[in-house]
Amino acid sequence: DTGVSQDPRHKITKRGQNVTFRCDPISEHNRLYWYRQTLGQGPEFLTYFQNEAQLEKSRLLSDRFSAERPKGSFSTLEIQRTEQGDSAMYLCASSLGNRNEQFFGPGTRLTVL
């Protein structure tokens, strides 16, 4: 399978705990994006990397959120001191070149109890 992969697919945690999600983009895609989707809404942009550089961050990305893409390949998204409002589907996408067509992974569904 050469698509975008995400791990874990589901995560249940208690309020106040830290969680980390991983995204592996399509091989050789230089751009990687994180989005968040809540029930009944379209995905909302969180942050974007070109290679290992984090170029854009949304106002949605509070201080409790941090993302990395250390070698320009996979990326991690960490949420510290989770809150119930963080419950959502976290989606990762990747793209290549100027065409910028984005391909999405299956998502990580986070539930904060």
Partner 1 sequence: GIQVEQSPPDLILQEGANSTLRCNFSDSVNNLQWFHQNPWGQLINLFYIPSGTKQNGRLSATTVATERYSLLYISSSQTTDSGVYFCAVRLISSGSARQLTFGSGTQLTVLP
Site membership for partner 1, residue 91 (CB under 8 A): yes
Site membership for partner 1, residue 25 (CB under 8 A): no
Site membership for partner 1, residue 104 (CB under 8 A): yes
Site membership for partner 1, residue 94 (CB under 8 A): no
Query: Nearest distance from residue 40's CB to partner 1, in Å?
Result: 8
Closest CA to 36 of 97, 95, 79: 79
Contacts of 22-25 spanning 24+ positions with Cβ under 8 A: 22/74, 22/75, 22/76, 23/74, 23/75, 23/76, 23/77, 23/92, 23/105, 24/73, 24/74, 25/73, 25/74, 25/75, 25/92, 25/94
How many residues bind partner 1 (CB under 8 A)? The answer is 27
Give whichever of 16 and 98 is closer to partner 1, judged by the CB atom. Answer: 98
Q: Which residues bind partner 1 (CB under 8 A)?
A: 31, 33, 35, 37, 40-45, 48, 50, 55-56, 58, 89, 91, 95, 99-104, 106-107, 109
